[in-house]
Amino acid sequence: MERHASRGLTALTLGLALVVCAPSAGSAEDPTASAPPVEDAAPETPVAADPPGEPDATPAASDAGGTRLPEVVVEARSDSLVGIAESASQGTVGATQIDERPVLRPGEVLEVVPGLIVTQHSGDGKANQYFLRGFNLDHGTDFATRVNGVPVNLPSHAHGQGYTDLNFMIPELIRKIDYKKGVYYADEGDFSSAGAANLQYWNVLPEGIALATVGMFDYTRGLVADTPKVGPGNLLYAGEVLFNNGPWDVRSQFLKGNAVLGYSVGDDANGWNVTGMGYKAGWDSTDQIPQRAVDAGIIGRFGTLNASDGGSSQRYGLSAEWHRTGEDQISRILAYGYYYDLSLFSDFTYFLDDPIDGDQFEQQDRRVVSGLDASHTWLGRLGSVATDTRVGVQVRNDAIHNGLYHTLDRARLSTTRADDIVVTSGAPYLETREQWTDWLRSIAGLRVDIVDFHVDAELPENSGNVTAAIASPKLDLIFGPWERTELYLNGGMGFHSNDARGVLAHVEPGSDPPALIDPASALVRTYGAEIGLRSTRLHGLQTTVALWWLDIASELLFVGDAGTTAGSRPSRRYGVEWANFYTPTEWLTIDADFALTHTRFVGDDPAGNYIPGSPDAVIAAGITVHDLHGFFGSVRLRYFGPRPLIEDNSVRSDATLLLSNQIGYQINSTWSVWVEMFNFLNGKEQDIAYYYPTRLRDEPAGPDDGGYNGVQFHPVEPLSVRVAVTAHF
């Protein structure tokens, strides 16, 4: 599957990265001789009533005669980003806030991002479904996710563009989550139009941890992790085993194992680390089911129409990161590689296409991913103006084999398509920051993405090679701070790539006689802008407000009868987000986030202009007690507003309101125990809903191409209780 063009582009961009990031002689200290790691400090605690002081807006001259803009390490949402952030929709959430949230599934840690909803419509081993800023992001399209800086989104995936499976992630290892929304950041490229998040692991844990959890539906989980001192650095090790049957009539039998092994030297300024990760899982799944089958008593709310659905997945990776800080420059290089494998068996339409053997299909995806992310920053001054200039390059190659097969009880009956794919991308970018006055700073950026798509398909008509490029300028203006308050004006362009198979497709696979189709655009332009405010003026309160707008030249929509995504019409979204984090005392935190969105296709179409699956309203709120005479806990509310399920808005989903809580007690410095309750009101809402045609076994042919249009839904899990015991050492 290797391609000379792909290797050439990779070599060129790798060479550029090495030139860009080569530090000047004597620019930095030896990382092994640096001060003790910042992460050796005591565990982070919520900020007290007074928020952190405002950073000095006037840069201070360095000893070398250069100039440095204010530098602050931010590790908790309660910390002030006034004087630091690029937009009102940028933020950081620290380990304490993550640990104190009840999390049903690992991917739900992303719900710390204001306005983001994480759901599931299938088995626990499958990637979650995400919603943000009026997007049904499916399994990750238009939201770029990284763990330790390593991209998780998978282009040209068998189950959808940008597939983001976070089951290999261990929540207790997260030091912080940095998030951004919008297209205003030069270091964010493909899949980031709605937003981006980086889940950063600890290099040095505050304490070793051993955890055992048991719960309803045969849930069991064990975890051990520590970072002992070894030589000049620290060894990170972690192991996790989890089993869960879930509430489903057909037991999930979800079993997964996770392992992490790493070594780090230095601190946040100068150092390096190497991290290896391994993950393997298998499961049976209950996918979304027809509402009419439940209404007719054929199955219950937790039943299935195909007991053989499910899958298996594995991921093994290695990454290495090096960073150095001098008096007037900063360098960083991250290199990574991983192997990924998924076999997924699904049945969304039952007997619509094949009334005899049924419609189950297997989606297989095997790939090797490799890449590099490097940057170099110069800190200086142009006359009286303090300036930072950053140059970077991001390189990635995905060597993929995937296939789509018609199956019966997981046995292959026929091949719909099988493809060998290589997707190679390179993206140099430039970003410059200026502090013009004590109340005005600007950030201007430009990135150029070059993507090469190569497909070897069974149908020669669907094979070939396409290379595309797109430039994305960015501009941010930040006014203030005044009275611990800043105003932001942000604008920029972004893009998302399409599936390589769609970019090179000319004949519809499996069609008889062959049906000609138009290839999809390789790279799809997005445009966005935002006006925002961030303030810590009120005692103990951090609040942000953002009015935003985003246009996209071609919407990617979920196709229910195929289980894939397809290009659609242009769309426009705009909305308002209001996020609040209030710490009235050292032991109490209250947060409340509100997001309202208007989404429509652009232009007139008889089918209608509503975008299926786009939520109009999202609310997340919580009350957290950190340490009140040894007790800790939280209560959280999540409101997922109704969505149109069809373009004319004649069918809408129900809203989903869930309440969950956690309560625990710190017995002593070593032992703690807590209880988590999910959906403690035992609501019977929908976790996710769709509208498309299906046909049940022995059901007569219907008017909608042989089936019957209707709501297909996946229920929220009922009341579930888990008990955990933790030892810190």
Positive/negative CA dihedral, 352, 357, 358, 359: negative
- pLDDT tens digits for range 403-425: 999 999 999 999 999 999 999 99
CA 111, 168, 104: angle at the middle one, nearest 5? 40
- Between CA 670 and CA 210 the distance in angstroms is 10
Tell me: cis bond preceding 151? Omega within 30 of 0 counts. no
Tell me: cis bond preceding 473? Omega within 30 of 0 counts. no
Confidence of residue 74 (pLDDT cuts 50, 70, 90): low
Q: Tokens representing 29? A: 């200290």
Share above pLDDT 70 across residues of the chain, in percent, rounded to a whole number? 87
Positive/negative CA dihedral, 499, 500, 503, 504: negative
CATH topology for the 4-634 domain: Maltoporin; Chain A (2.40.170)
Lowest-confidence region among 52-66, 314-328, 355-369, 471-485: 52-66
Q: Tokens representing 168? A: 């290999």
317 closest CA partner among 299, 340, 334, 296: 340
- pLDDT tens digits for range 606-639: 999 999 999 999 999 999 999 899 999 999 999 9
| C-beta of residue 173 within 8 angstroms of C-beta of residue 166 | no
- Between CA 502 and CA 565 the distance in angstroms is 10
Determine the average pLDDT of the residues in 533-559: 88
Domains of the chain: which residue ranges?
Answer: 4-634
586 closest CA partner among 544, 624, 542, 636: 624
Instruction: Give the CA distances from residue 13 to residues 188, 430, 468, 654, in Å, rounded to whole numbers and listed in that order.
Output: 17, 14, 16, 48
pLDDT at 552: 94
Which pTM does this prediction carry? 0.89
- pLDDT tens digits for range 584-602: 999 999 999 999 999 999 9
Burial class from Cβ neighbours inside 10 Å (0-12, 13-18, 19+) for residue 511 reads: exposed
pLDDT at 368: 98
The 3-state secondary structure of 572-634, one letter per residue: EEEEEEEEEEEEEECCEEEEEEEEEEEEEECCCCCCCCCCCCCCCEEEEEEEEEEEECCEEEE
Instruction: Give the CA distances from residue 51 to residues 82, 502, 586, 720, in Å, rounded to whole numbers and listed in that order.
Output: 11, 50, 11, 36
143-147/195-201 β-pairing: parallel
Confidence of residue 697 (pLDDT cuts 50, 70, 90): very high
DSSP secondary structure letter of residue 699: P
Determine the average pLDDT of the residues in 569-583: 96
Neighbours of 163 (CB within 10 A): 25
- Between CA 267 and CA 374 the distance in angstroms is 18
pLDDT at 73: 52
- pLDDT tens digits for range 104-160: 999 999 999 999 999 999 999 999 999 999 999 889 989 999 999 999 999 999 998
Determine the average pLDDT of the residues in 649-664: 96
Instruction: Give the CA distances from residue 180 to residues 91, 246, 303, in Å, rounded to whole numbers and listed in that order.
Output: 7, 33, 38
